[in-house]
């Protein structure tokens, strides 16, 4: 099982439950989510994150996804506004030592060789490091000053460009040879496979990458880098545990559909980036804030390949078409 399998078999079915707005079904789905792996996956996408955290009996299953908890905090603060109560509430579900370790690890990340070469200079001259200080989230004046810093947008765009250039286009990315790949994974794959060191660097940098995405989506909503992340396929199969790169692609794609409407899907259905995955379209429709016309939905339905694995997507669009009249 890989990130694509989890997306198709676990996350999208859960999001369909959330889309129904049936609170009893949502609560049942979340109460069944006690396995550490599932907790992390649901943390990525649930609109009921506090309800999810309340249902988890073993805090270790939350602590394993501490970076995701912080990503969801960044998202909430940027799109919904400063909320120290929300911060305190979410952090209360995680052991304090894990929170302290996260801050310390992220603050010291500058000591590592950055894989975002163009980012090094920018980080040193902006306040992006305020992300790694807890008082940024517990004091509104600190948060407001951070968000208003004129350098943060340039730094965030550069962070996303560095992510796209390195992780997706693989410029300077270290790839395992087949023998090493077999030792680390236990199997061979035809897709590129980053070395263990690069995967660790990816994990370390991802919280600030996700913050950067949220910031750019809010303050420069039509930035080209968001389109690139949405449309360019990942060169390696996303990992089983919380495929953050696939999550970021889903978020970017959904943002573009909200920003540009169905035209974004139709104009990019079959381009140099390859055929759009049906799961991306399904996700964007489940998350969309827009209302779509029946003819728009029909046009999108027609571009989805009926390959035997897209049945749920097609059924969902048919339901939307019927509701749109």
Percent of the chain with pLDDT over 90: 38
pLDDT at residue 1 in the model: 60
Mean pLDDT of the chain: 83
Residue of 255, 4, 27, 250 lying closest to 14 (CA atoms): 27
Give the DSSP letter of residue 276.
P
- Would you say residue 122 has pLDDT above 50? no
Judge whether 231 and 271 are in contact, CB under 8 Å.
yes
- Would you say residue 177 has pLDDT above 70? no
Domain ranges of the chain: 1-64, 79-85+92-220, 242-325
The structure's pTM equals: 0.89
Structure token pair of residue 175: 């790839």
Taking only the tens place, the pLDDT of each residue in 178-200 is: 555 555 555 445 455 778 888 88
Least confident of 59-63, 101-105, 315-319: 59-63
Residues sharing a CB contact under 8 Å with residue 30, sequence separation 6 or more, in sequence order: 42, 46, 48, 51, 52, 55
Taking only the tens place, the pLDDT of each residue in 45-73 is: 888 888 888 888 777 778 878 999 999 99
- Would you say residue 104 has pLDDT above 90? no
Taking only the tens place, the pLDDT of each residue in 23-38 is: 888 888 877 776 666 7
Place 274 in a pLDDT band, splitting at 50, 70 and 90: low
Distance CA(182)–CA(189), nearest Å, equals 9
pLDDT at residue 181 in the model: 53
């Amino acid at each position: 099982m890989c990130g694509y399998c989890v997306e198709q078999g676990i996350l999208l079915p859960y999001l369909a439950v959330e889309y129904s707005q049936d609170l009893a079904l949502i609560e049942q789905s979340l109460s069944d989510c006690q396995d550490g792996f599932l907790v992390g996956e649901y943390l990525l996408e649930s609109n009921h994150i506090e309800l999810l955290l309340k249902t988890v009996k073993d805090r270790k299953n939350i602590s394993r996804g501490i970076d995701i908890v912080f990503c969801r905090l960044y998202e909430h603060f940027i799109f919904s506004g400063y909320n120290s109560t929300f911060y305190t509430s979410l952090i209360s579900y995680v052991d304090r030592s894990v929170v302290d370790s996260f801050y310390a690890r992220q603050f010291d990340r500058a000591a590592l060789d950055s894989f975002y070469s163009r980012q090094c200079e920018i980080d040193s001259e902006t306040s992006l490091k305020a992300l790694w200080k807890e008082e940024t989230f517990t004091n509104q004046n600190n948060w407001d000053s951070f968000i208003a810093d004129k350098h943060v947008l340039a730094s965030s765009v550069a962070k996303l460009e560095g992510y796209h250039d390195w992780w997706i286009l693989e410029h300077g990315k270290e790839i395992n040879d087949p023998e090493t790949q077999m030792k680390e994974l236990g199997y061979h794959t035809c897709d590129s496979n980053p070395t263990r060191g690069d995967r660790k660097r990816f994990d370390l940098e991802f919280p600030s990458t996700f913050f950067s995405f949220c910031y750019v989506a809010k303050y420069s909503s039509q930035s080209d880098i968001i389109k690139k992340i949405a449309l360019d396929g990942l060169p390696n199969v996303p990992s089983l545990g919380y495929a953050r790169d696939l999550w970021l692609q889903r978020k970017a794609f959904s943002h573009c559909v909200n920003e540009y409407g169905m035209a974004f899907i139709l104009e990019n259905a079959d381009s140099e980036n390859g055929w759009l995955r049906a799961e991306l379209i399904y996700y964007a429709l489940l998350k969309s804030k827009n209302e779509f016309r029946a003819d728009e939905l029909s046009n999108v339905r027609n571009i989805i390949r009926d390959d035997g694995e897209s049945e749920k997507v097609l059924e969902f669009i048919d339901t939307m078409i019927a509701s749109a009249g």
